[in-house]
Amino acid sequence: MNAIVQPAAYPSPEHDVMSHVRRTWGFDRLRPLQAEAIDAALAGRDALVVMPTGGGKSLCYQVPPLVSRRMSVVVSPLISLMKDQVDGLRACGYPAAALNSALSADERRETERQIASGQCRLLFVSPEKLLSDFFSGWLARFPVGHFAIDEAHCVSHWGHDFRPEYRQLRMIRDRFPSAAIHAFTATATRRVRDDVVAQLGLRDPCMLVGCFDRPNLAYRVIPRTRAVEQADAILRRHAKQASIVYCMTRKETDATAAELRGLGHRVAAYHAGMSAGDRRRVQDRFASEALDVVVATVAFGMGIDRSDVRCVIHASMPKSIEHYQQETGRAGRDGLEAECVLLYSAADVFRWEGLMTRSAVEAGAPDSVIQHHVALLRHMRDYCAPGRCRHRQLSEYFDQEYPRGNCGACDTCLAEHEEVGGATVLAQKILSCVCRVGERFGVRYVVDVLRGANTEAIRRNGHDRLSTYALLKGEDPRELTQVTYQLLDQGMLSRVGDDKPVVRLNEASWRVLRGQQEVRLWRSSSNVTLASQDAGDAWAGVDPGLFEALRDWRRETAVRRAVPAFVIFGDATLRELARRRPSSTASLLQISGIGERKQGEFGEELLRVIDALCREHGLTRDVPPENPAGGPRPRRTGPLPEVAARLFRKGWSVARVAEEMCRAESTVWGYLAEFAAREDAPLDPWIQAKTVARIEHEADRLGDQRLKPIHEALGGDVSYNEIRVVLRRRDKGAHEPRREERPGC
Ligand code: ADP
Ligand code: ZN
């Protein structure tokens, strides 16, 4: 620990960011804000970089040291991730290392040697490590150009995951006065951003706030009745793909994992109550694709870096939108389509309220902090209500305008909500039962009375003699519980008491009982279109057989090298290979995600896999990219993929388009609905004119735009898909998307 290395010439003679990006990662262009962040670091300027998960924050701190030839230090609380990050970089030929408590003495000495000799370009350290006087004193002898503070929201107690030790990172400013400091986070409201800047003492920082919307994610909120069965149905839409199911407690996590295993899923549980070794094993098996599903508490995620997670399910509501954004952020980090489903019941809200009040009292937190957390919870609850676009709500929560009329990728915009028929009468029955039992019992008891349960308590209270006893016999108790919580959510019923809460009537309840107020209730829908905004054509032209063969090759290679599969290649690269099917090592370099090192290392093996499958299936090779410049396909301005639109204009049937694009027919019906809303084409290639007329007639007669009543009025013989297409065309104009670009998007 003594050599002082002289700074390399700076700026480097080869001040060419793109040549490094191309050679090391094989990427053709930078994503929004990456160039700005890299330039700021190279100019020695502080920055706050806020980008959604998957936005590409890592590249912002990985590139500057290659250009400046001065080491960057990444401060990250995610020790379990560091090894994977270092492995991933080394696989690209990038000299990176980590220093944390998980290293052996030998490994630590070797890393220190690399730093001292100037070989290391990127060093990952934990906050605790950096805060040690001894270590930071030693590090200050070397020319550190730039510090990247990952998960910087941890510095603010207005955000989530507040960590007191993060505040001490302010010492970086004093110890390393000439280094630029960049704070990175995926979730930060304006208040958190300002706090991060102040707490870390950033100097005139460049504020780089990206677009929070994740267009490749489809969001849904579904009324929860039977969480495991619902999760099972959702996971089946993503068979053999990576998925995460979040539960609130360790006990629920274990139980849910066991049930899903019983239903045939390759699944494991993960929570903080497990030993470090067990947790590591689950992470490793998930990373090596030996597991498809992890059921976890929020403790999981801090340690995963699998970018091909296709589905994130919340079995209960998280306590803030920040948490929700962070946890759903783990879906689709590779930019490909993914689905996020929240199974919701207002019972979660009450549970959180109880937990928060108890833990705040125990911690002696001031009222203002408690109120702040209650306000975060209220925003989350508002998000769960039906009726508003989920993409819009999330963007607006983070102070960004959402420019699209219809996102095409949430349950609201896809009109999937199913209403409970006769909701007002059902609500009246529930409310009158609350009244009859004297407003002295909780939801479960009221439901028991309504369904005519034969319990000791009901007999003792003489409630089996009430007129509302067994009034809803035969109804599913879970559905009844769910709708009772919906009444609580909508303020048509009140809940009082902390220890043994009871439900009471309020003014709104009486309005409903007197027939002065209509009630709308929802049930979980089975009518799901798998669609997402921009990723709709992510499968276009991809040969599914070749993609699977490449995945098998990746899995075997990862096992052989004892690294996670994503360290070899991401799914986006495999899809590109299976679409363009390069025939030479030179043409491999044109594939996004293949840089020089990986071309040299894996090129021949890849060509062997591609050659064999293409020969067997008679596939053409060296298919040109969709846009000849070779860059990523252009961003769509609306939910409808142009590919599908082109084929519809030729009059192709839904089945034929689905086959051509390797998409499910249900997805293609979604594209057709958007096509119908945008273009004035007749619908007869897809729906018979007389069916169109019948649908329009019923929609006019009912004065209703909802699918289910129309479907029922037509006797159930016209599909939801056809109804949706016809309604979307009638809607034309009302939902026309505004076509301006978002700044930074
Ligand atoms: P974040 O840290 O913001 O969650 P990452 O840095 O992990 O996001 O990047 C997400 C994914 O996007 C990774 O698979 C990464 O390789 C890829 N990526 C990043 N920048 C680019 C780029 N300019 N072109 C193509 N892919 C990129
Ligand atoms: Zn929407």
Query: pLDDT tens, 655-680?
Result: 877 766 556 677 788 888 878 887 77
Same domain, 261 and 339: yes
Task: Mark whether 400 and 507 lie in a shared domain.
Answer: no
Which among 202, 214, 221, 534 is positioned nearest to 398, based on CA atoms? 214
User: Between residues 581 and 646, which one has the greater pLDDT?
Assistant: 581
Measure the CA–CA gap between 284 and 731, rounded to whole angstroms. Answer: 49
Return the pLDDT at 670: 80
Q: Which residues sit with their C-beta closer than 6 Å to ligand 1?
A: 27, 30-31, 34, 51, 53-59, 307, 333-334, 570, 592
Which CATH number is 589's domain given? 1.10.150.80
In this prediction, residue 534 carries a pLDDT of 45
Check if the beta carbon of residue 704 is closer than 8 Å to that of residue 695: no
**Which phi and psi angles does 12 have, rounded to 5°?**
-65, 150
Nearest Cα residue to 124 out of 177, 169, 81: 81
Ligand whose nearest atom lies closest to the CA of 416: 2
Average pLDDT, the chain: 86
Q: How confident is the model at residue 15 (pLDDT cuts 50, 70, 90)?
A: low
Q: Ligand 1 mean position to 163 CA, how many Å? A: 26
733 CA distance to ligand 2 middle (Å): 16
Tell me what pLDDT residue 660 has: 63
HSE toward the beta carbon, residue 142, CA cutoff 13 A: 27
Same domain membership, residue 118 and residue 154:
yes
- Boundary residue ending a domain (158, 177, 209): 209
Examine residue 539 and state whether it is found in any structural domain, yes or no.
no
* CATH for 486: 1.10.10.10
As residues whose CB is below 5 A from the ion ligand 2, the structure lists 389, 391, 407, 410, 413
**Residue 566, domain extent:** 544-617
Which residues have CB under 8 Å from 497's CB, separation 6+? Answer: none
Count CB atoms within 10 A of the CB of residue 478.
Answer: 16
Q: Which residues pair with 221 in a beta bridge?
A: 342
- What separation in Å is there between the alpha carbon of 532 and the centre of ligand 2? 10
Residue 75's pLDDT is: 94
Which residue puts its alpha carbon closest to atom 27 of ligand 1?
Answer: 56
**Residue with structure tokens 């019972």?**
347
Residue 504 contacts residue 493 (beta carbons within 8 Å): yes
Measured distance CA(265)–CA(292) in Å, rounded:
7
Q: Which atom of ligand 1 is nearest to the CA of 186?
A: 3
What's the pLDDT score for residue 636?
Answer: 33
Place of tokens 């119908």: 676
Kindly state whether residues 378 and 465 are assigned to the same domain: no
Q: Among 307, 568, 576, which residue has the most ligand 1 atoms within 8 Å of its CB, making it the best to mutate?
A: 307
What confidence tens digit (pLDDT) does each residue in 110-128 have? Answer: 999 999 999 999 999 999 8
Cα–Cα distance for residue pair 612/620, rounded to 1 Å:
12
Q: Residue 535: is its pLDDT beyond 80?
A: no
Give the residue from 418, 442, 477 where a domain finishes. Answer: 418
- DSSP of 91-119, one letter per residue? HTT--EEEESTTS-HHHHHHHHHHHHTT-
Query: Cα of 382 to ligand 2 centre, how many Å?
Result: 15
- Residue 163 and residue 200 in one domain: yes
| Residue 335 confidence (pLDDT) above 70 | yes
* Digit-coded pLDDT (tens) for 437-447: 999 999 999 99
Nearest ligand by distance to the CA of 27: 1
Taking the C-alpha atoms of residue 709 and residue 426, their distance in angstroms, rounded to an integer, is 17
Cβ–Cβ under 8 Å, residues 528 and 238 = no
396 and 486 together in one domain: no
Note whether 434 and 446 are within 8 A (CB).
Answer: yes
Tell which residue, 67, 129, 68, has the closest CA to residue 97: 129
Calculate the CA 425 to chain-centre distance: 38
Q: In ligand 1, which atom is closest to the CA atom of 58?
A: 6
What burial letters (b/e) apply to 399-411, b meaning 16+ CB within 10 Å?
A: ebebbbbbbbbbb
Looking at the structure of the chain, the number of domains it has is 5
Q: Give the residue, out of 29, 58, 62, with the most ligand 1 atoms within 8 A of its beta carbon, to mutate for a pocket test.
A: 58
- Best residue for ligand 1 mutational test, from 25, 61, 334 (most atoms within 8 Å of Cβ): 25
Residue 223 near residue 344, CB atoms below 8 Å: yes
User: How far, rounded to the nearest angstrom, does the alpha carbon of residue 498 sit from its chain's CA centroid?
Assistant: 33
- Predicted confidence (pLDDT) at residue 3 exceeds the cutoff of 80: no
Q: Which residue has the higher pLDDT, 239 or 581?
A: 581
Protein residue with its CA nearest to atom 24 in ligand 1: 27
Lowest mean pLDDT among 138-142, 248-252, 358-362: 358-362
Name which of 713, 691, 716 is nearest 704 in CA terms.
Answer: 713
Q: What is the pLDDT of residue 663?
A: 62
183 forms beta bridges with 48, 149
Q: Which protein residue's CA is at the shortest distance from atom 26 of ligand 1? A: 27
Domain presence at residue 633? no
pLDDT at 523: 85
Cα 236 from Cα 240, distance rounded (Å): 9
Residue 383 to residue 349: CA distance in whole angstroms: 12
Write down which residue in 162, 189, 209 finishes a domain. Answer: 209
Q: What angle do CA 429, 430, 436 make, to 5 degrees?
A: 85
Question: Above 90 in pLDDT, residue 520?
Answer: yes
Token pair in block for residue 572: 């986006």
Q: Do 180 and 230 fall within a single domain?
A: no
| DSSP labels, 200-235 | HT-SS-EEEE-----TTEEEEEEE-SSHHHHHHHHH
Q: Could you tell me if residue 530 is inside a domain?
A: no
Tell me how many helices (H) and strands (E) the chain has: 33, 17
Q: Is residue 363 part of a domain?
A: yes
Confidence of residue 435 (pLDDT cuts 50, 70, 90): very high
- Co-location of 241 and 365 in the same domain: yes
Which of 145, 315, 344 has its CA nearest to residue 244?
Answer: 315
Q: What is the 3-state secondary structure of 372-425?
A: HHHHHHHHHHHHHCCCCCHHHHHHHHCCCCCCCCCCCCECCCCCCCEECCCHHH
Sorting pLDDT into bands at 50, 70 and 90, what band is 739? very low
The arithmetic mean of pLDDT across residues 195-222, rounded, is 91
Confidence of residue 633 (pLDDT cuts 50, 70, 90): very low
CA atoms of 321 and 160, how far apart (whole Å): 10
**In this structure, are 371 and 431 located in the same domain?**
no
More confident residue, 266 or 405: 266
Q: Which among 557, 601, 544 is positioned nearest to 26, based on CA atoms?
A: 601
Question: Residue 737: nearest ligand to its CA?
Answer: 2
CA dihedral 301, 307, 313, 318 (to 10 degrees): 40
Task: Measure 24 CA to ligand 1 centroid, in angstroms.
Answer: 13
Nearest to 466 by CA among 488, 426, 490, 437: 437
Residues 413 and 495 occupy one common structural domain: no
Spatial separation of the C-alpha atoms in residues 710 and 700, rounded to whole Å:
10
